[in-house]
Structure 1
Amino acid sequence: MSAAEPTILATSGGHRVGTRTRLLFDALVHHAVDLSGVHGRRPRVLYVGTATGDAEHVTARAAEAARAAGFDLTPLYLFPMPNVEDVEGTVLDQDVVWVMGGSVANLLAVWRVHGLDAIMRRAWRAGVVLAGVSAGSLCWFEGGATDSFGPGLRPFTDGLGLLPYGNGVHYDSDPGRRPLIHRLVAEGAFRTAHCTDDGVGLVYRGTELVEAVTELPGRGAYLVGREGDGAVEERIEPRSLPTPRF
């Protein structure tokens, strides 16, 4: 089972605190599974925690969340070495790849050393849904604003570029991101930037943005383009996703 065409869900959400578990997969992760078209069996989700240095406690919480959601979760570790013999085969065998947040600069450096950047591109073309939160959103784009290099936000322009835009994550909760994204677009670092408030995701078929969706009320998505020497912003009202039942 695979998506009908290359599909990416780029988000600033997907997780919430559970009552009996530390973490639950919220509506955006479930929507990534829906986009894959899987039915008649348990969805296969690859969890990639490179951006957190493959922190075992984070992976353990994701495994708990997958159990509660009814997903078969496979973690892909790259520290201290890949935990599977056939990395490409493992990725291509999934319905969804979910990439955790953290350091996007470190994530991509490690992916490139192991050839995972090229594998993700092949998986995307093969119909595996690529998805993730924060750094797991930024990585699919040309770049955006990141705190990978320290507490202050800095430009990042070395993304995979599957999506030919800049990306702004946590647009409502981190006040420094909006002005930096506007500056990068005004200066021509990105032709346009696609941005998400917390809880919002952007759905792409191929490289075309087809829909904004949200798991939280009142949140928005934004398109930032260049006008003259400055940047202009257009708000997109996302479609509300149903809250998963456990």
Structure 2
Amino acid sequence: MDKHIVVLGGGGWMMGEKHSKLDRYALDLTGKRDPKVCYLPTATGDAEEAIQRFYDSGLSCNLTHFPLFKPDSNWRTKLQEQDVIYVGGGNTRSMLAIWREWGIDTILKECYENGVVLCGMSAGAICWFDLGITDSNPEEYTVIDGLGFVRGLASAHFNGSDEKADLFSDFSQNNSSVPCYGISDYAALHFINGQLYQTVTSKFDAKVTFENAL
């Protein structure tokens, strides 16, 4: 069974794109007209505004969300029942810390191994890699450990000309054996079984910067 991860640097329903090509690409991997899609809003602290935006997205007729600050009684099995798990943007460091405390990282790994499509934007994109560049610390960009489902380092909302880009460049030069992906807004990468398969964009100027790519 192939394992799929689709990572968005930015765009899709979370950034107001209606019927986004990026969202549709991930959903179509299920082969279902109305796949079961579950949103993890942990990175926003389960913010009601973000949750409502998800339900207003029109992604599917089978939408649900996975709260961790007010978990449902069946929270341990809920993720395993999905076709697509979508992780939203927000504070990556806090999200990963909470996931590890609750064992969500292990559950997500099981879902991945069982063929559930993993998808996400921003924090929900970089979390799947070994390493990610994040602004979770408001004072500076930092490199943090991710879940390690995909080898390498990822940076979302990547424009190639700011402090994040400088850190990306320095890291890639000093770690030549680590593949690095700078993913701009409205660009996405599709990994199959941990290997890069395809780049997808929804705007003409969207792009991905590759360093040390295999």
TM-score normalised to the size of structure 1?
Answer: 0.80
Structure 2 stretches lacking a partner, 5+ long: none
Encode CA deviations 1:111-144: one digit per residue, 9 max, x unaligned.
1111100000000010100000000001100122
Encode CA deviations 1:37-60: one digit per residue, 9 max, x unaligned.
224xx2110011000000011101
> Residue 173 of structure 1 contacts residue 198 of structure 1 at CA under 8 Å; is this kept in 2?
no
Indicate the larger mover: 185-194 or 95-104.
185-194
Map of 1:242 onto structure 2: none
Is 1:46 the counterpart of 2:41? The answer is: no
Structure 1 stretches lacking a partner, 5+ long: 226-232, 235-246
Is 1:220 the counterpart of 2:210? The answer is: no
Question: Quick one: which amino acid aligns to residue 30 of structure 1?
Answer: R
Encode CA deviations 1:163-186: one digit per residue, 9 max, x unaligned.
011001111187222211111122
Map of 2:52 onto structure 1: 60
Cα distance, 1:195 vs structure 2: 2.0
Separation (CA, whole Å) in 1 of partners of 2:123 and 2:19: 17
TM-score normalised to the size of structure 2?
Answer: 0.92
Bigger CA radius of gyration = 1
Identity %: 30
Q: Higher RCO, 1 or 2 (CA under 8 Å, sep at least 6)?
A: 2
Query: How well do the aligned residues superpose, as a CA RMSD in angstroms?
Result: 2.1
Cα distance, 1:9 vs structure 2: 0.1
Cα distance, 1:95 vs structure 2: 0.9
> Residue 126 of structure 2 contacts residue 132 of structure 2 at CA under 8 Å; is this kept in 1?
yes
Separation (CA, whole Å) in 2 of partners of 1:16 and 1:207: 25
Separation (CA, whole Å) in 2 of partners of 1:10 and 1:16: 13
Encode CA deviations 1:20-48: one digit per residue, 9 max, x unaligned.
xxx74522111111112224xx2110011
> Residue 182 of structure 2 contacts residue 208 of structure 2 at CA under 8 Å; is this kept in 1?
yes
Alignment size in residue pairs: 213
Separation (CA, whole Å) in 1 of partners of 2:99 and 2:117: 18
